[in-house]
Structure 1
């Protein structure tokens, strides 16, 4: 099935750390914004809602007053946080206006007061120590510089604050990992292209996951930034939850 988007596809972003791809990532997510939520439900078989609940529990465990959700996209995780803790001030930041527009619509429909603001994750527009918790749900692997992103998270956190990262680690080496790798590389791009009309975006997704640091390597990077860090695999390691507490 060919879509109008596939006739003149936009350049597919590079993957991995230290890649200059910000504008291409921005354009890619802008193009799939209207179907993004549907695709997340279909491609994760609905399990992503469980992953977000687990991450939200960690993010709210210390009863923060202000939470920043970076790479908030269409706002699903920010909405989860605000629903669970209505008294908490939640700010969602992203550099794709089309995503933020959808996030605002969803918040208004649910009568939730969340500030959605455009911002660069590698140069966050907030003073030092502004937030008690910083979260990033399935957006960190798209950063052009992981160390820089972690440094910015650390900077805007108050002393004793918490960072919660929810991401897809590379599939493991066992039988389940092989099956999931096949699904990710062969099945997911076809479904994504069919539903979104952008095949490149859902080829980029598995490539970006395979290029992402192994869980312990990311934990080491967080510790090098200054975080006390622990890792929890979710659903046989399909997703992973990294929790870092600022010293």
Structure 2
């Protein structure tokens, strides 16, 4: 069964866009507050996997408020194109980009991960942080990301996963299922959004199963990097020459 943010009718894609439009003003604060700032470290580690690439052109799918795109530009000095289905999240991203005077290096636009508005073999690298579990059709989204990637290009996916070891697993799941939705709901005024978060993570095919999804999409998995005892995972894959 597809996990959606709200119980009302409508596609997952439409509901996800509406959810992020609702929480956009509080999104960055809640991201850093609820993760105790660890999410910033994960993003840096994800970007470090692109080191050694010379001035890559990077596509940032589900760019949201632009944190991953900004980190990539800061660490690599590269150009980044960000796409997202939430107009309100993009407004926040645009404000950050202008404030840092990076409009020549980073651009963002509204776009659907399953129907990206780019030609085949356009980008040297593609990345997404905390976005793939929100795809309505995971295979279609990953396949379209791979399509826009040049042969030999890298794909980096940072996504939440499920810890496996006692007792951290039990403590984390209690926080994730009960404390996080309560706090997130109070601050964002959208409890459903932060109830959807743990539900979407728990139903997501993480670990080896996600590597199998990458293979189906035409990518070759290289390595998985577990973060903070399995709370998140960074997946590195490449598009091999056909």
* TM score, norm. by length of structure 1: 0.90
Aligned to 1:75: 66
Does 2:97 match 1:104? no
Does 2:237 match 1:244? yes
Give matches, 1:173-212, under 5 Å: 174-212=166-204
CA separation of 1:184 and 1:61: change in aligned 2, threshold 3 A: farther
Give 1:225 shift: 2.4
The answer to whether the 8 A contact 1:59-1:163 is kept is no
Take 1:139 and 1:59, find their aligned partners in 2: how far apart are those partners? 19
Aligned to 1:7: none
Aligned to 2:34: 43
Take 2:51 and 2:118, find their aligned partners in 1: how far apart are those partners? 21
The answer to whether the 8 A contact 1:59-1:135 is kept is no
Take 2:174 and 2:50, find their aligned partners in 1: how far apart are those partners? 32
Aligned to 2:82: 92
Aligned to 2:150, what secondary structure does the other structure show? strand
Give 1:58 shift: 0.9
Aligned to 2:133, what secondary structure does the other structure show? helix
Give 1:64 shift: 4.7
Does 2:220 match 1:228? yes
Aligned to 2:153, what secondary structure does the other structure show? strand
* TM score, norm. by length of structure 2: 0.92
Spell out, residue by residue over 1:126-158, the C-alpha distance to the aligned partner (whole angstroms, 9 max, x if none).
000010000000011000111111101110000
Take 1:60 and 1:135, find their aligned partners in 2: how far apart are those partners? 14
Take 2:25 and 2:235, find their aligned partners in 1: how far apart are those partners? 29
The answer to whether the 8 A contact 1:129-1:155 is kept is yes
Aligned to 1:218, what secondary structure does the other structure show? helix
- When the two chains are superposed, the root-mean-square deviation of aligned CA atoms in Å is 1.5
Does 2:45 match 1:54? yes
How many pairs does the alignment contain?
A: 232
Aligned to 1:204, what secondary structure does the other structure show? helix
The answer to whether the 8 A contact 1:171-1:210 is kept is no
Take 1:215 and 1:236, find their aligned partners in 2: how far apart are those partners? 13
Unaligned stretches of 5+ residues in structure 2? none
Aligned to 1:132: 124
Aligned to 1:216: 208
